[in-house]
Each structure stands twice: as C-alpha cells, then as structure tokens.
Amino acid sequence: MSTDRTNRPEQPNASATNRTAPDAVDASAFVNAVDNRGDTKVALAGSGLAPGKPRKVSPVSRLISHPWFGLVIVALAVALPFIDSRAYTIRISTDALIFVMLAVGLNIVVGYCGLLDLGYAAFFAIGAYTSGVLTTTFGWPVIATIPCVVVAAVIGGLLIGGPTLRLRSDYLAIVTLGFGEIVRITANNLEFTGGPNGVFGIPDFGDFGLRADIATYWIVTVVVALAVLASARLGRGRLGRAWRFVREDEDAAEAMGIHTYKVKFAAYVTGAIFGGLAGVLFAVHQTAISPPSFNFLYSALILMAVVLGGMGSTPGVVVGAVIIALLPELLRGVENWRYFVFGVLLIVLMIFRPQGIWPHRVGETPAKVRRKPMREDDVEVVP
C-alpha cells in the first residue's frame, strides 16, 4: 500500500526545534540576502591591478639616488690629495675608507640577512695577519697574498658558520662574540704571529713614483669603491632578495622553498671575504698590526656604523661608517671629553632617527609604476 508523498505531514527536524531564535533570525537574514542579491561586476584576475598611489619623492632623494651621484663621490675621493695632501688628512681618510669596507661587509651579514654578528673583527684580523705574516716572513708581495687571504677568510667562515648558523638571534650573537675573542687571544699567544708585539715592517703596494701614503690612499679608494658597488649589486640581485626574505621571516622563507641554511652561509662567507680584504688594506696602511687592534670594541663600532646608517642600505652604511670614523677626529678639540661628546651625539641621533640616517627603501620606484586602465571587456557580470 503506497502513501502519497504530497499529503505526508512533514516531520519536525530535531536540530530545527533546538535552534534558538537568534540563530533562526540570522539564518533567515542570510538566506534572504543571498536570494535577493543583484548582478555583481567582477573584474578578471589581474586586470586593473596596480600599487597604491606612489609617495612623492623629494628632489634631494632623487639626486642622491641617481647613479651619477656615486660616481661624483668617488671622483671627489680620488681628487682629495689634490685638495689637501697633508699626511694627517690622507691618513684619517684612508682609515675612514677601510672602515667603510668593513661596514659594507658587515651590512651583508646583519643588514641583508639579519644575522647578528658581534665578532666581525675576527675576519678583519685573519686578513691582516695572513697578509702580514706572508709578506714579512716569506717575503711575498702584498698582491700575491690576496688569494691566500680570501681562502683563509672562507675557512674562518666555514669553521664558525658551519656549526652555528642554525642558531638564531642572541645565541648566534654570543657564539660570534666568542669567536672574535678566540681569534684575538690566539694571535696574542702564537709565536709566528709575533705574540703581543704583533707583526711589523709590512710593505706597501708600491709608490708608483708617488708619495707612498697617497699611492696607498688611491689604491684603497679604488678597492673600497668596487666593494661598495659589489655589495649594492648583491643586495639587488636574486641572492640579496633571498637574504631579505630570511631576515624578515626565516620560517616563511623556508616554506617558500628557500634553503635558509645555504643562504645564511653564503651571506656569512661573503661578509668574511670583505672583512679579510679590509684586513689586507689595514695591514698595508698601518705597516704594523697587533692583537689590541682587533678587540670587541672594534666589532661594536662596525656594527654601530651599520645601525646608524640604516641596516640594509648600502649608501646609508657608507655614511654611517664615515661618521663613526671621522667624528672622533673632528672632536679632538674637546680633548678628554671627545668620546663623551661622541657617545652623546650618537644617542641623540638614534633617538630622533631610529631607522638610521639613510634607511633602506622597500617597494617599487614610483617611475616604474604604471596603472593599467580597466576596460569594459575586462568586466564579467555574475548573475
């Protein structure tokens, strides 16, 4: 015997009877909104997409961001001996340039990749002692020691970076601080490094018919200019973008397919090479080196230059390094108070400019932003 479905009374649903009044009202409101919806205009994927309104760039920013601005700075640095050829001026300018190279190298590690390194002076010492020992003990020319310095710096980066780059933040900083002190104490106790007396009588690159300090200054200027250019190009390349991804969020970078350990290792070894080459320039410039020249204070000053100039910004780091290197010399007039004034000025500057003097810009250049107008053909009507 069959029963007519149309005349069968509906059985109440248990969930419907247990539903509270507010839930029923919300559900009915949602159903009504869906039923009464109108035609919706939906743009095709990717059409009409463009960044927001670009911020205005000041004329000063355009000027200093122009590629010719860097060439003008290099030309002024090369022309310095023609402007002021006093031995004191050439000496402190050479010191400032070497410090710039150290800051640019540490910026690759700290600014680009976000690895806090408190023992960067260790690679500085490795380069200086390798070149100094080879030139004074074995009679090598300075140029011939550069490949050995690069190899020694890479080995130093492998020894410290291999087992420790899996650490993060404070733990990595403590390990690198210990590595810096180990290198300094080792150089202080080994016989072939001269012990506490260090290495002296290091030859220069040659005078080339010029005054020795001026010839050294020009060579240092060319090497530092090439190092700054190489650092900037690395930061804008594929590897530089990977470094910044790791710096911002290492877990997200690894989830996106970046081998974070290899990327950090590349940054650490690259920074070690920069530090080692700066050590060669330092040894040639000073003609004598000793362990106190590579203490923790020097590593802290290099890190201070990176933070002061703007982490990740190559021109900012150059400006910060020049300030850190030259400001104590400019404050010699206050005699014993110069380091106190130096510290106060740095604190004031960091309070009012915490992002650095010349911070790194994130985003596209406004000149490259082009808005694509949306056409009627790109609009799809969804009933």
* Among the ranges given (103-112, 166-175, 192-201, 257-266), the one the predictor scored with the smallest mean pLDDT: 166-175
Residue 320 to residue 303: CA distance in whole angstroms: 10
47-94 residue pLDDT tens: 444 444 555 656 666 666 666 778 888 999 999 999 999 999 999 999
The token pair that represents 216 in the structure block: 């050294």
Residue 250 to residue 254: CA distance in whole angstroms: 6
pLDDT at 379 over 60: no
* Amino acid present at 228: V
Residue pair 252/161 in contact (Cβ under 8 Å)? The answer is no
- pLDDT of 62 reads 67
DSSP string of 122-172, one letter each residue: HHHHHHHHHHHHHHHHS---HHHHHHHHHHHHHHHHHHHHHHHTTS-HHHH
The Cβ-side half-sphere exposure at 307, using a 13 Å CA radius, reads: 16
> Bigger pLDDT: 380 or 119?
119
Q: State how beta strands 40-43 and 379-382 pair.
A: antiparallel
- pLDDT of 92 reads 95
* Three-class secondary structure of residue 200 per DSSP: strand
* Length of the chain (residues): 383
Residue 30 to residue 43: CA distance in whole angstroms: 25
> Bigger pLDDT: 345 or 317?
317
Residue pair 246/139 in contact (Cβ under 8 Å)? The answer is no
158-174 residue pLDDT tens: 988 888 887 777 788 88
Residue 315 to residue 228: CA distance in whole angstroms: 9
Residue 132 to residue 362: CA distance in whole angstroms: 42
pLDDT at 373 over 80: no
203-239 residue pLDDT tens: 988 878 889 999 999 999 999 999 999 999 998 899 9
pLDDT at 175 over 70: yes
- pLDDT of 172 reads 85
Residue 357 to residue 154: CA distance in whole angstroms: 32
- pLDDT of 162 reads 81
Residue pair 277/223 in contact (Cβ under 8 Å)? The answer is yes
241-294 residue pLDDT tens: 999 999 988 889 989 888 998 999 999 999 999 999 999 999 999 999 999 999
Residue 358 to residue 131: CA distance in whole angstroms: 34
* Close Cβ partners of 242 (under 8 Å, ≥ 6 residues apart): 253, 258, 263
Q: Give CA separation, 201 vs 132, 178, 217, 286, 334, in Å.
A: 8, 30, 18, 9, 34
Mean pLDDT of 342-348: 85
- pLDDT of 226 reads 95
Q: Give CA separation, 323 vs 72, 99, 227, 302, in Å.
A: 19, 10, 19, 11
> Bigger pLDDT: 268 or 369?
268
5-62 residue pLDDT tens: 444 444 545 444 444 444 444 445 544 544 554 444 444 444 444 444 555 656 666 6
- pLDDT of 327 reads 87
Helical (H) or strand (E) element with 43: strand 40-43
> Bigger pLDDT: 141 or 58?
141
Mean pLDDT of 353-374: 62
Which residues pair with residue 382 across a beta bridge? 40
